[in-house]
Amino acid sequence: MVNPAPSFRVYRMKWRWQAFALFFLLFGALPVIVSLKEFVSGASDPNPMMLPVGVLFLAAGIGLTVYAFKATIGFSQDAVEHRTIFGQKKLPLDGIKGRREYVVKGVPGDVGGNTRYLKLVPNDDRLPTLEFSKHYAFDKTFYLWFYELPDLDAEDKKGHKDSNFGLV
């Protein structure tokens, strides 16, 4: 491999995703603050649905914010590790079979509603597959390394051309 793995680098979520998470947190906090203010001041009758809905949005905003600021993809000398609030997965660099890339389509007509994912496939089923969105602030070094890995999607397409199986 000409381009080595980006050893000793840590990639975090892009700043715009972190900003979106903070906005969502503030958006969720606003109805809670308004409801509590109405309740304490007694100036008007509090809306009985505003507080539960606000608490729901606030909880989602807290979770999204923690995720956006804690999720990382880090490289050591011999492994790549994906950490999130839900856990961590570590894949040795010499255990990588290849890469895949795919898109999850969003709502039709939604501008920018598609999410692109990158996937590192292990050469042994006992090792974890690392899958992450392109919402991380990857640099040129990462992409040079990633796109030099064997493209398993292209190999699959090539294998289907040579095959007599499939639709007629």
Examine residue 162 and state whether it is found in any structural domain, yes or no: no
Could you identify the residue written with the tokens 């507080």?
A: 51
CA-CA distance, 100 to 115, in Å (whole number)? 14
The count of structural domains within the chain is: 1
Could you identify the residue written with the tokens 């040579």?
A: 162
Amino acid found at 127: L
Residue 80: enclosing H or E segment and its boundaries?
strand 79-84
Examine residue 167 and state whether it is found in any structural domain, yes or no: no
pLDDT at 167 over 50: no
* Per-residue pLDDT, 59: 93
pLDDT at 9 over 90: yes
Q: Residue 80's domain spans which residues?
A: 10-156
Q: Kindly report the average pLDDT of the chain as a whole number.
A: 87
Q: pTM above the 0.75 mark?
A: yes
Examine residue 4 and state whether it is found in any structural domain, yes or no: no
Sign of the CA dihedral with 16 first, then 21, 22, and 26 last? positive
